[in-house]
Amino acid sequence: MLGTRLIVAALTALIAAGSAASGFAQSDDAAIARQLRDKALKDAWGWRFLETLTTTIGQRLAATEAEARAAAWAESELKKAGFENVHREVIAMPLWQRGREEASVIAPSPQRLIVTALGGSVATPPAGIDAEIVLFHLYSELLAATPGSLNGKIAVVTERMPRVMDGSSYGALNPIRRLGPSEAAKRGAVAYLHRSLGTDNHRLAHTGATNYEDDAPKIPAAALSNPDADQLERLAARGKVKLHLVLTPTTQENEQSWTVSGEIKGSATPDEIVLIGAHLDSWDLGTGAIDDGAGDAIVVGAARLIAGLKPHPKRTIRVVLFGAEEMNYAGPAYAKAHDADIPHIALAAESDFGARKIYSFLAPVGAAKTPFIRDLADTLSPLGIFLNAAPALNSGDDIAPLRAAGVPVIAMRQNGLDYFDIHHTADDTLDKIDPQELNQNIAAWAAMTYLAAQSQLDFRKLATDAPASAQR
């Protein structure tokens, strides 16, 4: 018995000595990161935050009264959670609101279609538009159509969005929604419909913002559910198709949205900031659980655990809950208002991809071989997360303007296989979130945020010193 204990003690000493000698001993910082990780996995705070946000407020369309209530609520939650310098910042913007949205085939065979207006869309006349369609299976076919070829017609694009783990097909196909209406209008179309940027086969349409160009007429624009886009393809293959479309959204100028932020003051270099963000606004169709209530719970939940540490980590941690991401106002407004802060932001990251498990992370440019990343990779490995060989070139839409202004970023990659089944639909509700997967995210973000705030690495310098090929 005594002999066994001695052998165990000797082995333990040997392992400790061996790991120290080989240079693989983990730092004190890594030990604290591991404690934060393990605490997060057992903590119900993040789930309660998300449950309360989606239940007591629900949808949070930018510039609505509901979004303002969410901002006031988030402000009080951040104060209660122990953050400092908690405040709201105004974003001037118009308020766009959905009205009636009805579409139907009137010839050859009358039948209803499921559509939803794109954010920012203008209205049809109150009685609607009756017009023949011109259907394009690919967006590039619409772009190849000549001016005048769509005069008086409703342009319909039915290109399909592939289901991929990292969700990158969304960015690739995004011009169909963002730019399609103006491209169709330049060719004479009177309205625009596109297959939802979604991977499900439900009769739910996926909304999302569109941007009208100045040199084209503004035409009403909506997304079709996937099965309805299929139906139009089959009908169009048989001959002429005529639709009836009614959209009655409204726009009120001079309204406002809110960004909420709070800080954990750094104990050694408080002027250096590690910024972690998510967006508080959502679309109006669901309750914004995956997009982006989850991200709010992840970044606030992670930082809250660090706020309880004494002393605080060296750098200041700033949590930012952006308003009006979906309408594309938040990021540019924040970068403009915080122009003077930008040189002080050492690193930034955003969580805006639901709450499925993180499976990899991307190091800041030039930082892959630093002690910070080694500690982080070791801390995240038991969570099933590996260090991706690619450098982080972006980390979310709201911090993209900061990134463009030279702020280094770090990125977490989540399993996004089913994200676009739900994204921007009425199905974006709390039941789609797994509390344990949410906690895996909070655990990873707590470890990452702590280690980044504790590190004294100059990520800008590492990026500048990295080969040019790593910076694109």
Residues in touch with Zn ion (CB under 5 A): 291-292, 352
Output the smallest distance, CB 268 to Zn ion, in A.
34
CA distance 330 to 22: 47
The first and second tokens of residue 357, run together, are: 């498990």
The DSSP H or E segment spanning 83 is: none
Number of C-alpha atoms within 13 angstroms, CB side, residue 176? 30
The first and second tokens of residue 53, run together, are: 């946000």
Output the smallest distance, CB 278 to Zn ion, in A.
8
Closest CA to 350 of 309, 291, 306: 291
The length of the chain in residues reads: 472
Closest CA to 356 of 422, 282, 276, 426: 422
Of 354 and 364, which has the nearer Cβ to Zn ion? Answer: 354
Output the smallest distance, CB 234 to Zn ion, in A.
33
Output the smallest distance, CB 400 to Zn ion, in A.
13
Of 438 and 462, which has the nearer Cβ to Zn ion? Answer: 438
Of 228 and 352, which has the nearer Cβ to Zn ion? Answer: 352
**Cα dist. 428→175, 284, 290, 436 in Å?**
23, 10, 6, 18
Output the smallest distance, CB 277 to Zn ion, in A.
11
Catalytic residue among 89, 101, 183, 325: 325
Of 32 and 327, which has the nearer Cβ to Zn ion? Answer: 327
Output the smallest distance, CB 411 to Zn ion, in A.
15
CA distance 333 to 449: 24
Q: What b/e readout covers 186-201, taking b as 16+ CB neighbours within 10 angstroms?
A: bbbbbbbbbbbbbbbe
Is 350 catalytic? The answer is no
Of 286 and 366, which has the nearer Cβ to Zn ion? Answer: 286
Of 37 and 356, which has the nearer Cβ to Zn ion? Answer: 356
Q: In this structure, is the dihedral angle defined by the CA atoms of residues 139, 141, 144 and 146, taken in order, positive or negative? A: negative
> CA end-to-end span of the chain, whole Å?
61
Q: Which residues have a catalytic role annotated?
A: 325
